[in-house]
Every structure is written in C-alpha cells, then in structure tokens.
Amino acid sequence: MKVTFLGTGTSQGIPIIGCQCSVCTSTNKKDNRLRTSVWIKTPEASIVIDSGPDFRYQMLRAKVHQLDAIVFTHGHKDHIAGMDDVRAYNFIHGKPVDIYATEETMETIRREFSYVFENATYPGIPQININTINAWDPFEINGVKITPIRLLHYRMEVLGFRIGDFTYITDANFIEPEELAKANGSKALVLNALRHEPHISHYTLAQAMEVAKTVQTGDTYFTHISHQLGLHDDIDASLPAGMHLAYDGMELEF
C-alpha cells in the first residue's frame, strides 16, 4: 500500500490569500499546502479520502489516473467542495465513482451538489454511486477493509479511518480512548495539528503530540496545518524522534 499526502493545509490552504507572513511568502515547497486529503493506492483499489476545493489539481499533480472511490470524513466545504470533478473519471472509465460517507455527510453532499441528484439529469454532471456507512461498522472497497474511528470536531462527529497499517485522523479535537485504540498497531498515524494556540475544534501541535504518545504505533505525521504553526523546516526539526510534519507530495509505503 502506498499513501500520498495530496494536501496538508487547513481550510484556507497555504499561502493564504493576501497574507505576507513568513510562511505564506516562503520559497520552500513544503510550506505550500493544499487542502487536506490523502490518496491510498493498493493492488486492489485507488481511494482518496476527502475531495476539497483543490481536488482537480491534486489529482493532476499526483497523477491519479484511476479512482475507485472517495471516502469522506465529514461535510465541511474544505473536504467536499471538489467532488464535481469526478466527472473526468466518469469519462475515462465509463462508470460512476463510488462515494462513501455517513448519512449526515451525505445530506450535506446532496444539498451542496443538488443538481447531481435531480430526477431530470443534465448531460455531463458527475456520476456517483452512494454508499452510506456508519461510524461503528468497518466496510470494504474492492476487498480493502476500512475501519471508521469516531472523532469530535468541536460538537460535530466526524470520522477518521484505519486502513491496514495506516490510520488517518483529521479535523479532531477529542477522541474517546476506545476509538483511539483502533489505531494501535498502525505503522503510521496521521493527526491534525493546526497551530500552537488553542482552537475550538482542532488539536494544537502540543495536544496532537500528547495524543500520539498514547497510541501504540510507529511514526506519527501531522497534517491540517495552518500558517500560524510556523515554517515547515523549523517545526519539523523541533519534533521528537518518530514525529514529523507531513507535506504535500509526501509518500509512505507499507
């Protein structure tokens, strides 16, 4: 299995429009962050978690020629806004793309992309197959087992996912111990780490580090990063062994 970080930025990405801070004006490519998403490629399936506003460019940049499914963590705009661009895969493969989400997230997708679900369809609209999942039961995509992990994003329940040796958690600020235990044994754990200052719905870097220490896992990679966290090289060098800042284009292989 290969995992590619398609985007590691927060909802506004980095650089932020109009910002002149040291991170947003950095010439280091690792400080340029698209909206958070990952691509998981196995011999059986090509799966993307979340399709934010940068979905089209992320697919082009990573050369994702085949897409079997999109799995959604939740329905916020920075995680669903690019779904319209699955049309390209409809044309290439001649079939709908499977999408997987909870009923709550599906309701948001139906509202935001109402034209996809109208009875009188228009030529060229995205073709999707809806697969409703729940937060308690594992599911499979082409034989690839995916285990949901229940998280809180302030008061909103969102999902992380365990896929083989890889656990992906973003947009969280609280995880019940029994849910976090689902990550035990992973070779790689991904956690959101927005910034240093407290936030109402995201882990800070220090909080994410403390969470990572409670999990029996291999290396930890931090994502969903704001420009407020600081320059990539400075922060990454300050982290303890086994912890890393993820960056766009980073690849992990299992």
pLDDT digits 0-9 by tens, 45-64: 999 999 999 999 999 999 99
Q: What is the pLDDT of residue 123?
A: 82
Q: What is the pLDDT of residue 119?
A: 81
Within 10 angstroms of residue 185's Cβ, the number of other Cβ atoms is 13
Which pLDDT tens digit goes with each residue over 70-97?
A: 999 999 999 999 999 999 999 999 999 9
Length, in residues, of the chain = 254
Q: Is the pLDDT of residue 113 over 90?
A: yes
CATH of domain 2-253: 3.60.15.10
Mean pLDDT along residues 229-238? 98
- Rounded Cα distance between 141 and 106, Å, is 18
Question: Average pLDDT of the chain?
Answer: 97
Q: pLDDT > 70: what percent of the chain?
A: 100
Closest CA to 49 of 184, 185, 121, 148: 148
Closest CA to 47 of 23, 29, 69, 78: 69
Mean pLDDT along residues 102-120? 93
Q: Is the pLDDT of residue 135 over 90?
A: yes
Give the residue extent of every domain in the chain.
Answer: 2-253
Predicted TM-score of the model (pTM)? 0.97
